[in-house]
Structure 1
């Protein structure tokens, strides 16, 4: 095989998009193709239309994949090793009556966390306080603190 043919084949291989759909003329019936006026296009115009469709589909697929990964990661924050480990800042929905083992805290972002240690914050009553939930430096533990207090409770995400 001549070097020129090998180079041409290699360049075509690398020029192909990662995801190539069938040409539009193969996806439509001849009647649909004609009704859309696409039968009036030259071979070059049709090739440019198919290239544009491939770029559009590839771009939309990449965007949708990125958005979905970000959504899944955010929804899984605090569950095991899934999701990002940045602190979560929110408010407790409703009243806060101190820390107690097995107490659940529902946040305004929809997350629900359960206290799993014996930390206490006796006598503290607040309506919708701001909270910060931070991951431990080592391990997979998370700690909840109430704005204005230094006591922290070890929590796990329930929902």
Structure 2
């Protein structure tokens, strides 16, 4: 490991040690980016995490808060979800959109050729020209999140299934 990786690991461990007592005390979970000041986020390097890394860190903080013993020490991994919630183990969904596509914003509903309906939660794009029934891929992310991708060069829309 490089010196930078070692420092980043130590810093992350320190942040987790700071964050866990709050979670163990039964407080409502607050994402790490809302717990620290802008200066602290920058000093720790957390502001350089990708959105997926940030979601994973927050999920680990949330999930592990219930996995500690009374002394705050974590002795095993969190249990697997017995309800089979959607996650990274699910494969992507390939299909075509029904109708024309000019862009999307929160609230836009996509209807796929397989009958599924997906609604945009985050993301906004205005396409330079309308696409007729474009092929799409809905890909799973961490913690049950899904992203609709039209083209690799375009941003993905964060979506959730409504039907």
Structure number with higher helix proportion: 1
Question: Is the strand fraction higher in 1 or 2?
Answer: 2
TM-score of Structure 1 vs Structure 2, range by shorter chain: 0.3 to 0.5
Larger Rg: 1
